Every structure is written in structure tokens, then in C-alpha cells.
Amino acid sequence: MKMLNKILWTVALIFTFTATAQAHIDLVSPKPLMGGHGMDDTTLKVAPFGAPGVDVEEADALTVKAGSELELVIDGYVTHPGYIVVSYTTDLYGQDVMPIRSIPDYNTPIPHKNILMKIASPCPEGNCKPRRVKDNVLKTKVKLPDVTGDIILVVRQVMTDKFDNQPDGSISLKRIYYHQGAKLKLVR
């Protein structure tokens, strides 16, 4: 019986460890469509909004003034070298903000659509080595687009240590992104 307990605990620990190794940013405010810790911490990986299975059209929206400045609060609980891109879309399916999956070479900039802001990933004491950190909260203001209606604010972590060289010389970007999205209703 003791042996079985030990095995179960080991399995549980391994599972926890694998799960926590996968998630990296929490959009604290505005409230995301889905928390990044859902589905064993894998929801962040799902483009475009990190909210698999969420009916975005039916989701609650935060009402804010078009063109105003909104405070963003992001908790970077696993650090990585790279940056955070904040963009938006009026397409509730996010087709126009799907992440680019490969670039021809390292010198090609990664394209992002409808960018509102690009900021360096928060790394305490300038140490961006992948690790778990506490209280690594980034607060910043983002100027919203001057349009009215529903938008999704897309907050995307881009990890520059996750490029994968391909045999043909191109670079796969499949592992570099984590996604969070928040629904806003912009009004005059």
C-alpha cells in the first residue's frame, strides 16, 4: 500500500512539474477570455486567443472608451528572453491575428498585425533565463484603437529562445508563442 502511495505521489509530482513548465504569462487585467492555466496549463498555446472552446461572440466584454488608454497588468511567472506584443482584432475569430509559423531566416523580422504595443518581456534583474519567478508583474498603459464595437485585445508572449532551425534553413516559430485575449467593447 505504501509503495502504491509513493508511486501515485511521484506520478502526481511529475504531472505537476510538466504542467507548470508549459505556461508563462497571465493576463491579470483586463480579464482574459480564459485563464492560461486551463487544460493543464496548455490553453496559452492555442492561437489566436489562448481560449480554446470559448464562444467569443457570447463572452462578456469590458466596456471602455475608444481611443483611450487602458492599464494592462501581466504576470510573467515564467521568464524567457523575448518580448510581449499587444495587438487587437475586430474579427472575433482572430483570423487576421493568427501567428506566423515560420520565417525564411533569422534576419527576417516576425510580422505581427494591428500592433498597439511591443515591450520587452519582464525579467527580474535582467535575468531572462527560463525559470519560474514570483511577483514579476508588468503594468503598462496601452492606447486602444479609435474604433467602436467589440474587439479582442491580444497579448502574446514571443520567446526568442524557442526558434527551431529547419533542414531547409528556415526557422520554425511553432514554439515561440503564448497567447491571451480579452474582449473589450469600445464606445464613444
Residues that bind Cu ion (CB under 5 A): 78, 130
Q: Which CB, 6 or 131, lies closer to Cu ion?
A: 131
List Cβ neighbours of 69 (8 Å cut-off, separation of 6 or more): 141, 142, 143, 144
d(CA 10, CA 148): 52
Q: What minimum distance in Å lies between the beta carbon of 35 and Cu ion? A: 17
Query: Any bridge partners for residue 71, and if so which?
Result: 141
In terms of DSSP bridges, do strands 171-172 and 102-103 run parallel, antiparallel, or are they unpaired?
A: antiparallel
Choose between 59 and 78: whose C-beta lies nearer to Cu ion. 78
- CB of 31 or CB of 175, closer to Cu ion: 175
Query: What is the smallest separation between the CB atom of 24 and Cu ion, expressed in angstroms?
Result: 6
3-state secondary structure of 28: strand
Residue with the closest Cβ to Cu ion?
Answer: 130
Nearest CB to Cu ion, comparing residues 25 and 186: 25
Which one, 101 or 131, has the nearer CB to Cu ion?
131
CB of 20 to Cu ion, least distance (A): 10
**Closest approach of Cβ 21 to Cu ion, in Å?**
7
∠ CA 44-141-146, nearest 5°, is: 95
Report, in Å, the least distance between residue 147 CB and Cu ion.
Answer: 34
End-to-end CA distance of the chain: 66
